[in-house]
Amino acid sequence: MARVSVGARLHFGFQNLSLAHERLYGGIGVALSRPSLTVSAERAETLSAPDPLAERYARRSLRALDLSGVSVSVEEHLPRHVGLGSGTQLALAIYAAVAAAYDREGAVRPAAPVLGRGGRSGVGVSTFESGGFVTDVGHPTTRFTSSPPDEDDWRVPALLARHAVPGDWRFLLVIPEGRGEHGASEDESMRSVVERASPGIGDEIAEILTRRLLPSVAEGDLRTFGRAVAVVGRLNGAWYADEQGGVYRPPVGEIVRSLDTSSAVEGAGQSSWGPCVYGVTDDERAEAAVEAGERALEAAGVEGSVAVVRARNEGARIRS
C-alpha cells in the first residue's frame, strides 16, 4: 500500500487577466498544513474507487502510468468547492499514490494535464510539490482561446518564485456555508472575465508583487505581506465583480470588512472563488484572530467554521 497526505492551499489571485498583456494568469498562493487530504492506493487487477471523482482521477492515473488496475481509498477529505484547492490536491494525491503503489516515478507536474488539472494556475501543483508561498509564470496570452483547450493540451505554468513561510506566521480560515464556482460554470466565468479585463489592474498587481509581496515574504515582514495579499485580492475582485456579484462573493465582503477592523488580522481576502475567507496573522494573535472570525460570521448572519492554521513548507508526504 502507498499513502499520500497533503494540505490545502490558499489562492490569493492572478497576476494578470487582461489580453492586452503578453502573459495571462500567473497564480499566487500558499500551502497550508490543514485541512488535509489523505489517499491510499493498493495494487489490484481492476479499478476500485470510493466515488465518481476519485474514480475519474484513478482511471486517468492508470492511463498515464500504463497500468490496468488499482484500489484507491480517500481516508481524509478536503472540503470541496470552497476555495482550498480540493480538486487539484485530490487528483495529484491519487496519481502519486498509484505511482508509489507500483514503484513508478510519480512526478505530478508532467502528469497534471492528463488529470485535467493545472490548466490556468500552477499554484496547486507547486504547493503539492514543495509547499510554501508560490507564484507561477502563467501562460503566453496567445494561448488563450474562447473555448477551453483539450484537457491534456497544456503544460502547467512554470514556478516563478517560491519562499518558505516564516514559522510564526498563521492563516485564519473563515469558511461560511456554501460553495464557490467550479467546473463548467467556472470556465465560462473565467473566459468572460478575461475577455473584458482591464489591463491597468494587471499593472498594479505587478508592482505590488515585485515591490511589496515578494520582498515581504522573503524578509518575514508579516504586516506588509498581509496588506499586500489583501490588495491583490481586491484588485482581482474588481475583475470578477460582474461574475460573482461584487468585489467579493456575498457574504464574503461583510466578513472581510469585519476582519479588517481587528488588530489580530493584518490583511483579509477571498481564496479563489470562495467562499473561504483568509486572514493573515501570527501565533501570538491566533486566539484573538479566531474570535475575530467568529464575530465576522455573526455580523454577516451566516453559519460557518473558523480555524487558524500554519503554512506548510514541504511537499506532499508519500509513504509506501
Spans of all domains in the chain? 2-319
pLDDT at 179: 78
Question: Would you tell me which CATH number, out of the four given (2.40.160.40, 3.40.1030.10, 1.20.1250.20, 3.30.230.120), belongs to the domain 2-319?
Answer: 3.30.230.120
pLDDT at 89: 98
Sign of the C-alpha dihedral computed for residues 178, 74, 148 and 122 taken in this order:
positive
Residue 151's pLDDT band, with cuts at 50, 70 and 90, is low
Lowest-confidence segment of 55-64, 116-125, 187-196, 215-224 by average pLDDT: 187-196
Indicate whether 176 pLDDT > 70. yes
Share of the chain above pLDDT 70, in %: 97
Indicate whether 267 pLDDT > 60. yes
Average predicted confidence (pLDDT) for the chain: 95
pLDDT at 47: 98
pLDDT at 178: 84
Name the CA radius of gyration of the chain, rounded: 19
pLDDT at 93: 98
Please choose, from the candidates 210, 267, 293, 216, the residue with its C-alpha nearest in 3D space to the C-alpha of residue 10.
267
Indicate whether 44 pLDDT > 90. yes
pLDDT at 185: 73
Indicate whether 105 pLDDT > 70. yes
Please choose, from the candidates 162, 121, 114, the residue with its C-alpha nearest in 3D space to the C-alpha of residue 138.
121
CA–CA separation, 196 and 143 (whole Å): 17
Mean pLDDT, rounded, for 268-287: 97
pLDDT at 303: 97
Rounded to two decimals, the pTM is: 0.95
